[in-house]
């Protein structure tokens, strides 16, 4: 059983055992982070310092290239060589081995940075 479920369950017990709507949705596995069909990617383009991702629902996500060092340092030809992945919810650049997802872009999540550890 997850720690989060245990905390929610304990909070419910301390509130007199009432099961609120939020907890019942959580326990049934509902999530607002699930991708929606209209959040599929239809186009990707770049400015000098941003990536622009157009979604099927008409929204455009714009994020700084500084968040994605591989894309920042890629050539224009490498940036334009992208492929859709994950049923249209992801973007892959094979030349630089970079992946981005709609979920991560919508959450405003920069690329994780790996820290080298001295041996």
What domains sit in the chain, N to C, each tagged with a CATH number? 1-30 (no CATH), 37-107 (3.30.2020.40)
Of residues 13 and 64, more confidence is placed in 64
pTM exceeds 0.95: no
Q: What number of CA atoms fall less than 13 Å from residue 22's CA on the CB side?
A: 5
- To the nearest whole number, what is the mean pLDDT of the chain? 77
Provide the pLDDT for residue 35: 63
Say if CB 63 and CB 104 are below 8 A apart.
Answer: no
Say if CB 86 and CB 80 are below 8 A apart.
Answer: no
Provide the pLDDT for residue 110: 87
Stretch 16-30: mean pLDDT:
44
Stretch 49-64: mean pLDDT:
96
Of residues 11 and 47, more confidence is placed in 47
Say if CB 50 and CB 100 are below 8 A apart.
Answer: no
Stretch 85-97: mean pLDDT:
94
Provide the pLDDT for residue 109: 83
Q: How far apart are CA 72 and CA 54, in angstroms?
A: 19
3 has a pLDDT exceeding 90: no
Provide the pLDDT for residue 38: 84
Q: DSSP assignment of 30-58, as one string?
A: --TTSPPGGG-EEEEEE-SSEEEEEETTS
């Amino acid at each position: 059983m997850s720690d989060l479920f245990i905390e929610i369950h304990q909070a419910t017990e301390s509130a007199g055992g009432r099961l609120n709507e939020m907890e019942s949705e959580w326990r049934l596995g509902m999530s607002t982070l699930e991708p929606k069909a209209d959040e599929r990617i239809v186009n990707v383009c770049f400015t000098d310092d941003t990536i622009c991702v157009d979604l099927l629902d008409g929204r455009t996500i714009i994020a700084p290239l500084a968040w994605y060092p591989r894309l920042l340092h890629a050539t224009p030809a490498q940036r334009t060589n992208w492929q859709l992945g994950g049923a249209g919810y992801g973007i892959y650049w094979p030349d630089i081995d970079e992946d981005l997802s709609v979920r991560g872009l919508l959450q405003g999540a920069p690329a994780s940075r790996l820290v080298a550890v001295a041996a």
